[in-house]
């Protein structure tokens, strides 16, 4: 057979276009992903379902929720935890705030308030809590917060001495203030920050805001030593020299002028304080003896 009569070769079968099929699959995949994303954001899974606020004792949860500027039903991913946290931290009575988001739909807010250091009665007779930063929070009617701290009376809003007192009270352990029932301002020319403290053990204590952190630690032991001597009431001066003055029979306390004169007399006669205070407490004599220094327990009388 000659070469001219060979069977011609069959034409090659074209291969399927794999690239075209791959593009189609990618398009379909993206299409379904887009549909799923749209359905997700239209569903309740993308919304805030719960806002959990913890750690607040004085400030209402509603007020914290309003400050966060988020509400149930808002988009869960529309705002970040950091943004919510910064909004809440701007509240004057909030010391720190922490915000965590838990999918699906839960936002947990944990706050730490400035500690309450005292209470006061507002102009309308409503009870208010005073915080360490000087902020005032009105307690809700029927609030279960116990009035277990001193009550501030006679102070005006914006008084720098009140702000300084709140800061000092925030640094003093609660146990040291357990016997203090009321604190009033009692400024004088010598002591512009002078204050008067009433104790539940029936004593009046005169000191200053600056002296308070140092003097308050000795007060419980000082009162206990007086009670051991059967002295159950009187005025305790915790200024430059510490001493006790018995109450006059028909008066709650000395006048400011008498207190200043007695302070000078006490400074000049440091040796006879214990006997004078003790005898007056036992006999209830009508004539009030000159106040003389009484040293604090295990200490000698000395300038502070």
| CATH dotted code for 44-113 | 3.10.20.310
Give yes or no for a contact between 197 and 207, defined as CB atoms under 8 angstroms apart. Answer: yes
Judged by average pLDDT, the poorest of 36-45, 81-90, 160-169, 270-279 is 270-279
Q: Higher confidence at residue 222 or residue 2?
A: 222
Judged by average pLDDT, the poorest of 109-118, 205-214, 279-288 is 279-288
- As a whole number, mean pLDDT of residues 55-64 equals 87
- d(CA 235, CA 247) in angstroms, rounded, equals 7
Is residue 127 scored above 70 in pLDDT?
yes
- CATH, domain 116-283, list 3.40.50.10960, 3.20.20.70, 3.40.630.10, 3.40.50.620: 3.40.50.10960
Q: What percent of the chain has pLDDT over 90?
A: 35
Q: Give the residue extent of every domain in the chain.
A: 44-113, 116-283
Is residue 250 scored above 60 in pLDDT?
no
User: By three-state DSSP, how is residue 155 classified?
Assistant: coil
pLDDT digits (tens, 9 = 90+) for 72-122: 989 898 889 999 999 999 988 888 999 999 988 899 999 998 888 999 988
Q: Token match 């140092």: residue?
A: 214
Task: Say what the pLDDT of residue 293 is.
Answer: 45
Backbone phi, psi, residue 40, to 5°:
-65, -45
**Which positions ≥6 away from 239 have C-beta within 8 Å?**
191, 194, 206, 207, 208, 211, 263, 304
Task: Say what the pLDDT of residue 301 is.
Answer: 34
Grade residue 11 by pLDDT with cuts at 50, 70 and 90. Answer: low
Task: Say what the pLDDT of residue 257 is.
Answer: 42
């Amino acid at each position: 057979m000659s070469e001219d009569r060979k069977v011609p070769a069959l034409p090659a079968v074209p291969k399927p276009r794999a690239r075209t099929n791959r593009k189609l699959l990618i398009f379909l995949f993206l299409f379904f992903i887009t549909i799923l994303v749209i359905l997700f954001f239209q569903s309740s899974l993308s919304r805030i379902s719960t806002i959990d606020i913890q750690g607040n004792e004085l400030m209402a949860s509603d007020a914290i929720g309003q400050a966060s500027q988020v509400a149930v039903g808002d988009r869960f991913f529309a705002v970040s935890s950091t943004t919510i946290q910064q909004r809440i931290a701007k509240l004057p009575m909030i010391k720190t705030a922490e915000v965590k988001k838990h999918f699906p739909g839960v936002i947990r807010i944990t706050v730490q308030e400035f500690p309450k250091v005292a209470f006061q009665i507002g102009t309308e007779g409503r009870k208010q809590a005073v915080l360490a930063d000087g902020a005032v929070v009105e307690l809700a009617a029927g609030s279960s917060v116990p009035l277990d701290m001193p009550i501030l009376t006679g102070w005006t809003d914006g008084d720098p001495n009140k702000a300084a007192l709140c800061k000092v009270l925030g640094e003093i352990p609660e146990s040291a203030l357990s016997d203090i029932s009321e604190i009033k301002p009692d400024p004088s020319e010598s002591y512009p920050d002078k204050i008067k403290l009433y104790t539940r053990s029936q004593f009046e204590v005169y000191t200053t805001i600056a002296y308070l952190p140092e003097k308050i630690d000795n007060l419980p032991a000082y009162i206990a030593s007086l009670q051991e001597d059967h002295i159950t009431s009187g005025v305790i001066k915790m200024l430059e020299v510490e001493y006790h003055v018995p109450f006059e029979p028909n008066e709650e306390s000395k006048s400011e002028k008498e207190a200043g004169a007695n302070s000078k007399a006490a400074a000049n006669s440091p040796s006879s304080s214990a006997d004078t205070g003790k005898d007056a407490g036992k006999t209830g004599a009508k004539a009030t003896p000159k106040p003389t220094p009484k040293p604090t327990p295990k200490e000698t009388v000395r300038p502070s």
